[in-house]
Structure 1
Amino acid sequence: MKKKLTIMDIAKMAGVSRQTISRVLNNKPEVNEATRKQVLRIIEEHGFQPSLQARSMVTRKTNMIALLLPDISNPFFAEIVRGIERTLRENSLNVFLMTTEEDVELENSFIQLSKNYNVDGMILCSPRLDDANLRKLIPGISPVVLLNRDVDTDGVACVVVDAHYGGYAATKFLIEQGHSKIGIIVGPSRAYSSIQRLEGYKKALEDFGIPLDKDLIIQVEVDNKDIHKMTEQLIKKNVTSITTYNDLAAAHVIQACTDLNLKVPEDISIIGFDGIAISNFTNPTLTTMSLPLFEMGETIANTLVKMIKGNEPFERLTMVYPILKKGNSTRSVSFSN
């Protein structure tokens, strides 16, 4: 097998230092034109491709961004990633992606791997790592942009969905439609957004003078697992509506209602969260708290780019507010009275 050439090999052929080769590769001005042409000729003749590690030794930059997500199969993350990738690509940055299925050991190993690769920054969505551990890990990989976590520490910016507002607005909408027996299926308890969404639900009930019934609150521990059974539990409590933690869960609820011979929205109203494409294709179409997911990805990437460059101000905390998008899965209960 032919030996792969290194920067040192090219430097020997050209009779110059390794630093000069690096300056030529990175188009630095402090190389005379004759030397530059000679080096470029040798590089072309030998088809030399510098390794990422070799470039980073001199420039201290790899043009690599680490992106850690719990689940890329979830359309919520897939759309955000589109916005991230396009924006980073426009800034000559590449993405190193890993999904962890919320496994803390995998998250820690990926963060360590990112350090070894000397990435220029990281985008991190970690529902399970606690704030204390995040603060310990961040100095070695900063700058960092956190998705749906607000951790106030050096080298970190946060882009957070206002799930409290979303939970409140969804519940308020149902109350204004005449519903008072409102069930809620909440995401995993460890997730910041789940806690906030539930608090929003409770606040809306309080503001409208509706007593809190804890039996109408059901918590999912694994995304979209046992939603059918949870829907049955809520229906046995005579709820007239169910609000969920994302659109995929809402789609499962609609299917469960169909299996139980209930019509949506005639017999029960369903409201989702996120506004992913599936909300337009459920039967009936889904009322949801919609988010600008692609634009969130752009915001996350642009914030990180500003942090890396270090010459522009950036927002430490960016809040994203969901907007109610009406579908056909909700109705006023007054029509059935």
Structure 2
Amino acid sequence: MRVTIAEVARRARVSKTTVSRVLNNKADVDAATAIRVREVIAATGYIPSAGAVGLARGVTRTVGMLVPGLTWPWMGEVLQGVADVVESKGYGLLLSTANRGTESLDEFSRQVSAKAFDGLLLIEPPDAVRHLRVLHDSGLPVVVIDDRGRRPAFPSVGTDNRHGGAAAARHLLATGRTRLATVT
């Protein structure tokens, strides 16, 4: 059975507020009391609820990511890259798909409105821009991946296939290739 903060408080003969103050290294806790609380925490293996810590601090250490679906050919590489960076910074990644259209977007917006994330990454599904503008304007960090050249009014990362193709052709020609072909 999972040990709760109430159980730690009961065993240490203090209030839940005192346990919380010890966990957050507040200076206004008597040293002997803090030692007793830490001993109970160690003995019980208590682990604070990430959700409760997030509510108290106003930080979830979670990045939300909305993608249109998981079957796009390059989606695995994008997700792995995002996960590597997010996790290296001590954050978790919560992935949602927009494969149910407006229903998915509405559910994702509810999660965001509940402050479930510290920031959002989005591979822009159609019809998402109005949702994003509201979220971005509320102060939530939003970054769009693969903006398809729309350049929204907030940070975005995209590709330009025309310029990328031209750069590839220039490189091949500069290295002496003369018979270029495009496969689509």
Q: TM-score w.r.t. structure 2 length?
A: 0.74
In the alignment, residue 121 of structure 1 is paired with which amino acid? G
Does the CA contact (< 8 Å) of 2:105 and 2:128 recur in 1?
Answer: no
In the alignment, residue 183 of structure 2 is paired with which amino acid? I
Choose 1 or 2 for highest CA Rg.
Answer: 1
Residue of structure 1 equivalent to 2:182: 270
Secondary structure at 2:156 match in 1:
strand
> For 1:164 and 1:12, how far apart are their aligned partners in 2?
66
Q: Structure 2 matches for 1:147-226, cutoff 5 A?
A: 147-149=145-147, 150-152=151-153, 156-166=154-164, 169=166, 173=169
Gaps of 5+ in 1: 178-265, 273-337
> For 2:137 and 2:7, how far apart are their aligned partners in 1?
36
TM-superposition CA deviations, 1:190-210 (whole Å, max 9, x none): xxxxxxxxxxxxxxxxxxxxx
Does the CA contact (< 8 Å) of 1:19 and 1:58 recur in 2?
Answer: no
Residue of structure 1 equivalent to 2:113: 115
In the alignment, residue 49 of structure 1 is paired with which amino acid? I
Q: Relative to structure 1, is the Cα distance of residues 87 and 51 closer, same or farther in structure 2, using a 3 angstrom cutoff?
A: same
Residue of structure 2 equivalent to 1:55: 53
Aligned-residue offset at 1:102: 6.7
TM-superposition CA deviations, 1:75-105 (whole Å, max 9, x none): 4121122121111111111111122237232
Secondary structure at 1:35 match in 2:
helix
Residue of structure 2 equivalent to 1:45: 43
Kindly tell me the number of residue pairs found equivalent between the two proteins. 174
Q: TM-score w.r.t. structure 1 length?
A: 0.44
Aligned-residue offset at 1:6: 3.0
| Structure 2 residue corresponding to 1:67, chosen from 65, 68, 86 | 65
Does the CA contact (< 8 Å) of 2:51 and 2:60 recur in 1?
Answer: yes
Residue of structure 2 equivalent to 1:35: 33
Identity %: 27
Aligned-residue offset at 1:173: 4.2
Aligned-residue offset at 1:32: 5.2
Gaps of 5+ in 2: 174-178
Does the CA contact (< 8 Å) of 1:67 and 1:96 recur in 2?
Answer: yes
RMSD of Structure 2 on Structure 1 (CA): 3.3
Residue of structure 2 equivalent to 1:133: 131
> For 2:73 and 2:18, how far apart are their aligned partners in 1?
47
Does the CA contact (< 8 Å) of 1:7 and 1:54 recur in 2?
Answer: no
Q: Relative to structure 1, is the Cα distance of residues 271 and 29 closer, same or farther in structure 2, using a 3 angstrom cutoff?
A: farther
TM-superposition CA deviations, 1:174-221 (whole Å, max 9, x none): 9xx9xxxxxxxxxxxxxxxxxxxxxxxxxxxxxxxxxxxxxxxxxxxx
In the alignment, residue 126 of structure 1 is paired with which amino acid? E
TM-superposition CA deviations, 1:282-310 (whole Å, max 9, x none): xxxxxxxxxxxxxxxxxxxxxxxxxxxxx
Residue of structure 1 equivalent to 2:104: 106
Higher relative contact order (CA 8 A, sep 6+): 1
> For 1:143 and 1:127, how far apart are their aligned partners in 2?
18
Q: Relative to structure 1, is the Cα distance of residues 79 and 32 closer, same or farther in structure 2, using a 3 angstrom cutoff?
A: farther
In the alignment, residue 151 of structure 1 is paired with which amino acid? P
